[in-house]
Structure 1
Amino acid sequence: MTPWLLALPVLALVAVGATWLLRRHRRSGVIALVATNLAVLAGAAIVLATGPAASAATVAAETSTTTTAANGSALIAASIAVAGSSIGAAIAVAYTGSAALAAMSERPEMFGRAMVVVGLAEGIAIYGLIIAIILIGQA
């Protein structure tokens, strides 16, 4: 099981806690979240700076693990690309579709132009799918 899947429940709890903190204590909550982010950033920088130097034997032993992790990361990135573009397309179609229906109710001859705008909004999802295909192809 990849570490990403293990971290998802922790990230969900952190998001709920941050939302609760910001709703209860607006100004001090923002200060606490910024301080926490800076502490995590400093810790990550320390780990990155003091990490052990990889020898040739270690690199050769970890090649298969790194390849599997890279493939998993590419699949996660592809799913994020598809999900993000689909959500964006859904929001765009919601707004353009309602505007197109309002315009067509006043002038029915606007049907063709209105559907072109809605189709362009749907194209956003296709862009995410293309990016996902490229990411999976390179994995």
Structure 2
Amino acid sequence: MNKKIFIVMSFLAIFGIEGLFAQESGEVAETTQVTSQADSIQAFKYIAAGLAVGIACIAGGSAVGKIGAAAMGAMSENAELSGKALPFVGLAEGICLWGFLVALLIIIL
């Protein structure tokens, strides 16, 4: 009689432990899926932030180059125009700062 009880109890213990592992593997699979979705969202955030900074800096550099060349040409003819041309170069550099701020907001939020 004790042998039958021992066999039944061992089968119940084995199936119980197996059921616990089956539940854990399901939870791990769900956690892995959520983690992979979070990683892909994070990757898209970094790509978007990089594009925001990159495009803004390329546009700002292009604008500073054109405005700076025009300002230097104007200052070579009339030195009094240096005070009027400098703010325009600063405005063109502001494009890069806006790109950086947008990228920062994308990463933080």
User: Which residues of structure 1 form unaligned runs of 5+?
Assistant: 1-56
1:113 CA displacement: 1.1
1:37-81, Cα deviation, whole Å (9 max, x unpaired):
xxxxxxxxxxxxxxxxxxxx9xx4521111111011100110010
User: Which structure 2 residues correspond to residues 1-139 of structure 1 after superposition, within 5 A?
Assistant: 60-61=30-31, 62-138=33-109
1:136 CA displacement: 0.5
**Larger RCO of the pair (alpha carbons < 8 Å, separation 6+):** 2
Q: How many residues align?
A: 81
Residue identity in the other structure for 2:98: Y
Residue identity in the other structure for 1:75: Y
1:92 CA displacement: 0.3
Indicate the percent of aligned positions where both proteins have the same amino acid.
35
Q: Radius of gyration: which is bigger?
A: 2
1:93 CA displacement: 0.6
Query: What's the TM-score, normalizing by structure 2?
Result: 0.70
Residue identity in the other structure for 2:96: A
Residue identity in the other structure for 2:60: A
Moved over 2 A (4+): none
What is the alpha-carbon distance in structure 2 between the residues aligned to residue 135 and residue 75 of structure 1? Answer: 8
1:69-102, Cα deviation, whole Å (9 max, x unpaired):
1011100110010000000001001100000001
1:121 CA displacement: 0.5
Could you say which structure has the higher helix fraction? 2
What is the alpha-carbon distance in structure 2 between the residues aligned to residue 63 and residue 113 of structure 1? Answer: 56
**SS across alignment from 2:46:** helix
What is the alpha-carbon distance in structure 1 between the residues aligned to residue 84 and residue 34 of structure 2? Answer: 54
User: Which residues of structure 2 form unaligned runs of 5+?
Assistant: 1-26
What is the alpha-carbon distance in structure 1 between the residues aligned to residue 75 and residue 98 of structure 2? Answer: 28
What is the alpha-carbon distance in structure 2 between the residues aligned to residue 113 and residue 127 of structure 1? Answer: 23
**SS across alignment from 2:106:** helix
